[in-house]
Structure 1
């Protein structure tokens, strides 16, 4: 019964609101008529307060003034609303990016509302750790998120309508153990030749939104997705530009939210190194699910860049382990070409050590002018085996001699499996959610 009454009430509300001014005016007119018609007969404690026409005239004047006040207030509100809309239209004409910022805020607020509805309470937004997954376009970050073995129940229900979206947006992946925010690569690259002011403004607006809605600890960490295959074939200048661009965005982020963030580097698309497929084919299911890489020590770090020395040591140890596994791989591989490819894979990966060291130094080394990132680890992943693998050595030689390199056969996408990612988030990243620093401005209060 009450439910039906509530539904009827909701149905009547719009009609009541639209009819309210008319009802008020009619009510006041009825009051004036009653004052003159019935007023002289109104008795209070043996007296007739409205017996004289002067008293009734004063009451009528009061009613008219009340009516004028109500009417003027409503008119002023409408006029103020119209003026505000005109002012907003003028602002949007002067600043065409402003509507995009408002649309982005609306979409972000919508995702935040979903999160709060499912995690109620004052500290609801802090009950799950938040991570920003950063990477340039085609870095493989979205595939890494999708195929990391996590369940994104809320995300499947609340995916943004692609039509109601900015040219450069952010996707949210709300899982059982964490929230991953996935910005479009263009928000990070901010290509000035293609209207770079738009992604620049939207990026800054997003950081401000983070600080405003999760002020104490806007993020629990950052995951950098870097295309390993692209690094293997890029020139030194291209690698340097890639590193500096990501470094700039990371610096902007940490300066704005006022905290030092843990950073995890995921080298994606490992499958595009020639020989990867034959090498991993012989690995067990358990080995394929484990994270391939290393987490740096927290204790005993005397310098912000001690992790670079540890990277060199741990990378060499990883190559040693792969080489120790190589005889078994070769013994269990029948095809001679596949055996040669598997052997080439370990050599390519070993040969990338100086490339990765230089890249990571440019990307994450400390300087005297900004808060250094808390670099936690480097990991190697492959989630979709597609595309044409390249032999880094052969490609480098071909570029040196200015000749075309051999074209390898494309991988068959129907056989893709997620490799070295299943334990990366739940086993490595999420357990360290408490390492992020609080916003210094909020702590100082």
Structure 2
């Protein structure tokens, strides 16, 4: 059920990714003006990336192997005794492994290649007491290099003994590894053994498994006990195959055949050289069904035993009497052996099925034999090997077969390969589509750029005639608009500009040409004329020119500061350039004043031309130099009028006109006496403009790129401007608002007729409205008190606070 839910989850996730890819492609085609091919390739790229992530996930999981990586990593860590009670056994296993591996690497096998891979390796496993160690140690051609003390041939394996045969290497692991006895120590040692095996013999971890089982257990043990023991062995074999990723051939060796009645009589009836032969058979046809292989082996050996018995009896050869009962006793092993092999080699959906490569019978030595009459036991000659010599010397050497990957590994490899290829093709399709679309879009952008260069003539020479100057500036403005369109076109093709950047490079070249043209034609002449005009300013210069020079210079400094602070680009993107509406008119008036032949359209385009010049230029050093010069010019300009700020109230600065009662009430008396008005500088809107300009001026003078000598001068000019502004307010009150308060009661006396009283009330209502909405609070209060003929106010009206 969990596997089904997992499959459903991955299918739904894949469908979700496909849906997202389709939505992204549709969004790009309909809202971003992508080509249909670009939308298709982007969708394919998204699906390809998803499949590639799955490929990496499966590949890395397999490479790490979850279990294998955990095993190897666990072994490389330094264990604490509290966390690993069997530390000594693990260390002893490692010591034995490293010692024998060093011995192998220093052997004569180096002349034949890598000593680790020259000979086949076999893993000998079986329950404790099956006689596997005895069978191997009694082999005449074997020598033990375990580095551990051999107390006796019948002693049990402590962890892992290495047996170096002439044509093979056998790793004899302790029986508790295969069939754990108690605790978790055996499991930890088994993990460590698998980790060492996979780490030091990666290409071919094992050539096969030798599964030992005792004949006495097959004959005497209950079927349930045999199956339980066999299942534990199956788990170990499955764990091993899943760890290394290969289906390992398993050869079953039935030991302790000397405990089967009649075996010693059968063996003693032959010459010692005949004991070197093999009693068993290998799976010649590669039959995957273990039961058929077992029946064939038992039938073949049983028939051969009967033939030998008949031959000995008829020919009256010398033989032991108990030889006569051995064929029947041998056939009795069939049921027990079948019960043992069934859990090991039967198919199930949870474990990989091992391959039964052959079944062999033999004995390492014969400590006890059973009297054929059943009347007792007798000791036999020890230290002998029956029917295993040829198995160890020839069959193991010839049994080095090509390992077959386990089904899980094959399924993983097939799925991983499919995911890898599919993701590769989709990503290639995405790249090919992006390259193709990028080429087409670059062709389109380059065609537009070529049209711009053909329509607009680029020249770095200064225009000599007024008409030529106007045409040059208009052409420059046209170039600016075309570059903006080209930039927008390239930005809409951001994804397709990955492989080809020619359009972007051409756009940058056009911007560079624009900046060079702007500097030569407009910027340098204007700044030179402005510097000359400022140097010619005197205290008698008209307020309108003084205000133009100050307004233009301050706004210009502000733009340069934005450029140097890297905020101009963001401000242009957000369309939030805080440039007052007076900047462009001021530039136009200065250009008209300096050259009367400059058209209004040309003069009005300077602000936009300059902003985009700052946006596109990369010469910051020039901007810093210009900023210093402009700041110096502003200081010189303000120094001409330290006590006079009448130019600050000029409509060019305040951008607000004067207002009066006639703006709200069209009475014939007010039409006759058109003297009741308030300058725009004293209205609420004008006050905001003056404060904004004054703060910008002070800020522009202080925010220099480096600390200079003008800091004290700037602060001194600011203080002078503030004091002059206060004096100007007092003077304005005395000269403008106070006469208004005196004149109004004379025109509208309190003792007039009812009509005049009504008219007066209307006029007072209108006047209060003007005061409430437009005037400074101090001036507003003064007018109200004067309106009520409050004589006290006139005595205290000599001083008004600033702001």
What's the TM-score once normalised by structure 1's chain length? 0.67
- Determine if the alignment matches structure 1 residue 347 to structure 2 residue 338: no
Please say if residues 120 and 207 of structure 2, whose CA atoms lie closer than 8 Å, have aligned partners that are also in contact: yes
Question: Distance in 1 between the 2:284 and 2:265 partners?
Answer: 33
Show the 5 A alignment for 1:249-328: 249-299=236-286, 301=287, 304-305=288-289, 307-328=290-311
Residue among 370, 376, 379 paired with 1:411: 379
Please say if residues 157 and 175 of structure 2, whose CA atoms lie closer than 8 Å, have aligned partners that are also in contact: no
Residue in 1 that maps onto 2:177: 187
Residue among 93, 97, 107 paired with 2:86: 97
Deviation at 1:360, TM superposition (A): 1.3
- Determine if the alignment matches structure 1 residue 146 to structure 2 residue 146: no
Please say if residues 100 and 162 of structure 2, whose CA atoms lie closer than 8 Å, have aligned partners that are also in contact: yes
Q: What's the secondary structure of 2:127's corresponding residue?
A: coil
Query: How many aligned residue pairs are there?
Result: 329
Please say if residues 136 and 142 of structure 2, whose CA atoms lie closer than 8 Å, have aligned partners that are also in contact: no
Please say if residues 223 and 265 of structure 1, whose CA atoms lie closer than 8 Å, have aligned partners that are also in contact: yes
Deviation at 1:330, TM superposition (A): 4.1
Residue among 135, 146, 150 paired with 2:126: 135
Residue among 217, 234, 239 paired with 2:204: 217
In structure 2, list runs of 5 or more residues that go unmatched: 1-76, 418-803
Residue in 2 that maps onto 1:66: none
Q: What's the secondary structure of 1:368's corresponding residue?
A: coil
Q: CA 1:259–1:390 in structure 2 vs 1: closer, same or farther (change >3 Å)?
A: farther
Q: CA 1:167–1:139 in structure 2 vs 1: closer, same or farther (change >3 Å)?
A: closer
Question: Distance in 1 between the 2:82 and 2:309 partners?
Answer: 64
Deviation at 1:353, TM superposition (A): 1.8
Residue in 1 that maps onto 2:610: none
Show the 5 A alignment for 1:22-171: 91-118=80-107, 119-120=109-110, 123-152=114-143, 155-156=144-145, 159-160=147-148, 168-171=158-161
In structure 1, list runs of 5 or more residues that go unmatched: 1-86, 395-405
Q: What's the secondary structure of 1:93's corresponding residue?
A: coil
Question: Distance in 1 between the 2:116 and 2:308 partners?
Answer: 45
Q: Which deviates the most, 418-427 or 119-128?
A: 119-128
Question: Distance in 1 between the 2:185 and 2:293 partners?
Answer: 39
Deviation at 1:390, TM superposition (A): 8.0
Question: Distance in 1 between the 2:391 and 2:157 partners?
Answer: 31
Q: CA 1:97–1:417 in structure 2 vs 1: closer, same or farther (change >3 Å)?
A: closer
Question: Distance in 1 between the 2:329 and 2:128 partners?
Answer: 24
Question: Distance in 1 between the 2:296 and 2:150 partners?
Answer: 45
Question: Distance in 1 between the 2:247 and 2:116 partners?
Answer: 19
Question: Distance in 1 between the 2:194 and 2:375 partners?
Answer: 43
Q: What's the secondary structure of 1:94's corresponding residue?
A: coil
1:134-167 superposed Cα distances (whole Å, 9 cap, x missing partner): 1111111011111233243xx35x623589xx99
Question: Distance in 2 between the 1:239 and 1:167 partners?
Answer: 22
1:70-95 superposed Cα distances (whole Å, 9 cap, x missing partner): xxxxxxxxxxxxxxxxx958x32333
Deviation at 1:244, TM superposition (A): 1.4
Please say if residues 275 and 386 of structure 2, whose CA atoms lie closer than 8 Å, have aligned partners that are also in contact: yes
- Determine if the alignment matches structure 1 residue 356 to structure 2 residue 345: no
Deviation at 1:420, TM superposition (A): 0.6
Deviation at 1:294, TM superposition (A): 0.7
Deviation at 1:228, TM superposition (A): 0.9
Question: Distance in 1 between the 2:115 and 2:228 partners?
Answer: 39
Question: Distance in 1 between the 2:135 and 2:185 partners?
Answer: 27
Residue in 2 that maps onto 1:384: 365
Deviation at 1:190, TM superposition (A): 1.1
Please say if residues 157 and 172 of structure 2, whose CA atoms lie closer than 8 Å, have aligned partners that are also in contact: no
Residue in 2 that maps onto 1:435: 402
Please say if residues 259 and 368 of structure 2, whose CA atoms lie closer than 8 Å, have aligned partners that are also in contact: yes
Deviation at 1:175, TM superposition (A): 2.4
Deviation at 1:363, TM superposition (A): 2.0
Please say if residues 371 and 377 of structure 2, whose CA atoms lie closer than 8 Å, have aligned partners that are also in contact: no
Q: What's the secondary structure of 1:182's corresponding residue?
A: strand
Question: Distance in 1 between the 2:206 and 2:364 partners?
Answer: 25
Please say if residues 92 and 99 of structure 1, whose CA atoms lie closer than 8 Å, have aligned partners that are also in contact: no
Deviation at 1:425, TM superposition (A): 1.9
Q: Which has the larger radius of gyration?
A: 2
Question: Distance in 2 between the 1:390 and 1:200 partners?
Answer: 42
Please say if residues 270 and 276 of structure 1, whose CA atoms lie closer than 8 Å, have aligned partners that are also in contact: yes
C-alpha RMSD of the superposition: 3.1
Question: Distance in 2 between the 1:235 and 1:366 partners?
Answer: 23
Higher relative contact order (CA 8 A, sep 6+): 1
Question: Distance in 2 between the 1:390 and 1:138 partners?
Answer: 23
Question: Distance in 1 between the 2:93 and 2:128 partners?
Answer: 20
Show the 5 A alignment for 1:390-409: 406-409=374-377
Instruction: Judging by fraction of residues, say which structure has more helix.
Output: 2
